[in-house]
Structure 1
């Protein structure tokens, strides 16, 4: 389903406020300052593809900033790839400056401050995802962020072409197919990280990527099953356990580690919901852990603290911004 945010019917005097809210609601909390006395029409068309969101953004000149204060308001677990189609984007990421021109892309990390200035009318595609979904280390993520990638080179060319095609066809795809294809996009980003660090990656033809996408979809639909195991997953997809592990080597993590990351992410989401206690009482930590497949409450608590830096109870009580998996 497409979500369209359009300022065409908004009075010019109200467009700045409307657009600021639209951008923050679509992506993460951001400060947006329009650079026109009479704001141009601006449009965002977004599609949810499983855990991934792909959006096409067209607007007039503006400046966008992500400050430490905004990071504290949420969204610190997200990353965004912006593929420039029209106009330029001058960016600053923790002291590093870069410029995007049409055909180039960069990845921003919502856990770190950044600023972007788009001095002319622009058009770009944005791929937005939770950092745990890619399955690479924090060191790998750092080589992906604050870098201008030329879409004419190596794996970067494949990433740009795939993201562009994904955005153009997202509105016509079935939800499950869309989620599979989005997972493949994240696999390509993992390959790009390996390439940037000078490491070889396991061979990943389209058939292997498609199998990996189906496996991930299966795991996400069965996260609450405490018996979910590599053996059961392999049997459900008619592959050997060895082959399953080989697929996940491309992700840079083991099957078990990827499952744990998804379970922790779901638990963190449920425990952090402020509306959980309004009518029926806030769900207990143990109940949430069991809902997402954790057998041992003590193991869950240790894993949660290791991933986020606080205990599940502290997070539920509103401990505030915490670290993200891998930090």
Structure 2
């Protein structure tokens, strides 16, 4: 069910303070300064898709700053992609300054200071996620952060189209929401690889289409402990060698990608309300792990805590990963 924060019913004199709190509560601690003497209505509508928060933001002119002092207050492990719909925005981070026009998108890293200027009424969709969820490396982030991607052609166009449709339907996609969100993050990894000069084995277009089909198949069969490269390749009428070539494009092996998705599924299941009534072994089995000890070792290696510690943690956002 979407979460809506709207200033329409808030007295004009209180709107600036209300909006500042709404933006910081939705995303990360931010300093928000409205540019209107009499602020008009503004709204944020948010949905959750697995580890991805999707928020439609509509408001008037303002300046948003993420300072070192605000970074110290939390949220530094998150990334935000803003897909501009109406109005323009100017984003500055790490010495880069980019202009976002309608249809373009850019990523900001909450772990480093940035500023965003919105000089006219605007609307954009913000995709907000923990940096550990998307598989982006520090090298990937260096080429993606504070870079304006205009959807004129190529991979950026594919990413923009996918995100635009995902944002419009965010509240209506259960139970496939988590899988679709994972695909969005994978597309960003592909975009980063392309920007770093690492083309796919068959060129960007065919490789992306094939990878999307393969990943969707994997995500639909994660609970099957017999999910192997051989079976995946056979299901898509390709050789195992070709399958491995596709995943070299992603920077991970097929089985490593599968393990990451399974661990993410287990982590979400153990964190759900009432999750403490489910045994760790049952969760591991449901997501395709055949060995409880192997699952525990893999979980600790990925997140720095054991599955039981994660399940029992009262405030899980304080736990690594």
Report the TM-score range of the alignment, normalised by the length of the smaller protein.
0.7 to 0.9
Could you tell me whether the CA contact under 8 Å between 1:187 and 1:250 is conserved in 2?
A: no
Q: Which runs of 5 or more structure 2 residues have no equivalent in the other structure?
A: none
1:276 aligns with 2:274: yes
Name the residue aligned to 2:32: 33
Name the residue aligned to 1:125: 125
Name the residue aligned to 1:253: 252
Distance 2:109 2:52 in 1: 15
After TM superposition, the structure 1 = structure 2 runs for residues 178-189 of structure 1, keeping only pairs within 5 Å, are 185-189=184-188
Distance 1:180 1:290 in 2: 19
The alpha carbon displacement at 1:108 in A equals: 2.0
Name the residue aligned to 2:318: 321
Distance 1:58 1:37 in 2: 18
1:69 aligns with 2:73: yes
Could you tell me whether the CA contact under 8 Å between 2:300 and 2:306 is conserved in 1?
A: yes
How many pairs are equivalent?
Answer: 313
Distance 1:127 1:292 in 2: 26
Name the residue aligned to 2:231: 232
Question: Quick one: structure 1 residues 105 and 205, their matched pair in 2 at CA, closer, same or farther if it must change by over 3 Å?
Answer: closer
Could you tell me whether the CA contact under 8 Å between 2:201 and 2:207 is conserved in 1?
A: no
Name the residue aligned to 1:144: 144
Match of 1:292 among 280, 287, 292: 287
Distance 2:279 2:253 in 1: 29
Distance 1:304 1:171 in 2: 29
Name the residue aligned to 2:196: 197
Name the residue aligned to 2:266: 267
Cα RMSD between the aligned structures?
Answer: 4.0
SS in 2 for 1:189: helix
Stretch moving more, 141-150 or 262-271: 141-150
Distance 1:41 1:206 in 2: 42
